């Protein structure tokens, strides 16, 4: 048995292994160079090996990596203050991934209802084609049969409705409903951007029925769309929000953020995470926030997004195989009429990394630090692939 056979077959891995990365570029074992338009699936928002984050990780690793949440962690306290200052939230719970953050949000919603005299309200409404994680609870919240198949019976307590249809949300409410959980933009299903007013409508529905509104910003947060949080393109706020991916630039970290009123339902012993918010992860996250905000990275997303939209529009006008393009900030998708798998494979072969979603859509999540020249280079590769295949 060789080395790779010792790993469980949970991924359909491409036959390439990377050994080094700087900014938007990666190099494989043979020294071939690639443009990374996926950024570790929206994790490396500052690119690969960002100097400020790398220095913070090295310094913290030489001082203290882990203690325990049985004791105060000053870096965690600093991070919570800095993170909550970016949004509606008053308090944070730190964990290790987006799935764990969503687990915390689900538990917090149920506990809040029980604490407020409504223990029978435990169901959460989620959107079809959304994605919230691979644990049993978050898998049950994810309304995609392809990721649920084989793991039945699923955990009860979730009702599914079409995305971008507030009327269906209202009709799905029952005496058991506790909350509404959605992504402000659906990422895994191919960058599905809702109509203007959809998020505001969800807020109004939640208020009218006494529900909690939960936003999964695991993929859309941390500046990805040009605002620190994607829901900040609207005029409302949720009660709970989850984040991970770009939070610590590749060091595993997630967080569940909530208003003080809702967060009060978590008391000592109700929830925990051994590694969540340890000193190493917090040092990486603090350096990430400093780069995103203080160094002006997020402020530069609008210009790069406008360039990317222009290039995508040009591609769509030139290639009839493109059904549509979608873009918000540096979160983009090219939906094809066919042949998407072949396009993705040829892009990889020519040195451009992106991902295939739903069998028809190419998703792009480049680093927020991508240069204009790199955008042009990546789009030129995609243009050439489309020309050669179709």
In whole angstroms, give the CA distance from residue 321 to residue 363.
16
Catalytic residue among 94, 111, 228, 245: 245
Phi and psi at residue 126, in whole multiples of 5°? -130, 170
Catalytic residue among 36, 163, 216, 239: 216
Q: How many Å separate Cα 388 from the centre of its chain?
A: 33
Residue 309, burial from CB neighbour count under 10 angstroms (0-12, 13-18, 19+): middle
If we measure between CA atoms, which residue out of 281, 286, 292 comes closest to residue 224? 292
Note whether 25 and 351 are within 8 A (CB).
no
131 is catalytic: yes
Number of other CB atoms surrounding residue 7 within 10 Å: 9
239 is catalytic: no
Torsion of CA 364, 331, 26, 98, to 10 degrees: -110
DSSP string of 245-289, one letter each residue: GGGGTTS--EEEEE-HHHHTT--TTS---SSTT-HHHHHHHHHHH
Number of other CB atoms surrounding residue 327 within 10 Å: 21
Catalytic residue among 93, 131, 163, 228: 131
Max CA separation in the chain (angstroms)? 63
Number of other CB atoms surrounding residue 359 within 10 Å: 11
In whole angstroms, give the CA distance from residue 240 to residue 229.
13
85 contact partners, CB below 8 Å, separation of at least 6: none
216 is catalytic: yes
Helix axes 301-318, 372-389, angle to 10 degrees: 20
Catalogue the active-site residues: 131, 216, 245
């Amino acid at each position: 048995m060789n080395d790779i056979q010792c790993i469980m077959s949970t991924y359909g891995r491409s036959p390439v292994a990377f050994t080094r990365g700087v900014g938007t570029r990666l190099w494989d074992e043979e020294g071939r160079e690639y443009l990374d338009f996926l950024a570790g699936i929206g994790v490396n928002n500052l690119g690969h090996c960002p100097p400020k984050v790398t220095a913070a990780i090295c310094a913290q690793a030489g001082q203290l990596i882990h203690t325990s949440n049985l004791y105060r962690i000053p870096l965690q306290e600093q991070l919570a203050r800095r993170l909550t200052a970016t949004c509606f939230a008053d308090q944070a719970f730190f964990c290790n991934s987006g799935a764990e953050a969503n687990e915390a949000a689900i538990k917090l919603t149920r506990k809040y209802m029980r604490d407020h005299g409504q223990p029978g309200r435990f169901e959460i409404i989620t959107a079809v084609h959304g994605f919230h994680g691979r644990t049993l609870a978050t898998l049950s919240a994810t309304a995609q049969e392809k990721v649920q198949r084989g793991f039945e019976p699923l955990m009860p307590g979730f009702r599914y409705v079409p995305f971008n249809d507030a009327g269906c949300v209202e009709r799905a409410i029952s005496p058991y409903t506790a909350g509404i959980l959605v992504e402000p933009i659906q990422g895994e299903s191919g960058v599905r951007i809702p109509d203007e007013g959809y998020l505001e409508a969800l807020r109004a529905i939640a208020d009218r029925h006494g529900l909690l509104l939960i936003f999964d910003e695991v993929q859309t947060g941390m500046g990805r769309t040009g605002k620190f949080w994607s829901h900040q393109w609207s005029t409302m706020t949720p009660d709970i929000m989850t984040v991970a991916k770009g939070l610590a630039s590749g060091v595993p970290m997630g967080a569940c953020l909530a208003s003080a009123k809702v967060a009060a339902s978590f008391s000592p012993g109700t929830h925990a995470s051994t590694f969540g918010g340890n000193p190493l992860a917090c040092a990486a996250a603090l350096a990430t926030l400093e780069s995103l905000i203080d160094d002006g990275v997020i402020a530069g997303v609008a210009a790069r997004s406008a360039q990317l939209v222009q290039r995508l529009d040009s591609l769509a006008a030139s290639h009839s195989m493109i059904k549509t393009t979608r873009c918000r900030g540096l979160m983009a998708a090219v939906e094809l009429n066919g042949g998407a798998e072949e396009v993705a494979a040829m892009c990889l072969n020519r040195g451009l990394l992106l991902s295939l979603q739903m069998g028809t859509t190419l998703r792009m999540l480049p680093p927020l630090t991508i240069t204009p020249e790199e955008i042009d280079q990546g789009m030129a590769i995609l243009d050439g692939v489309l020309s050669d295949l179709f």
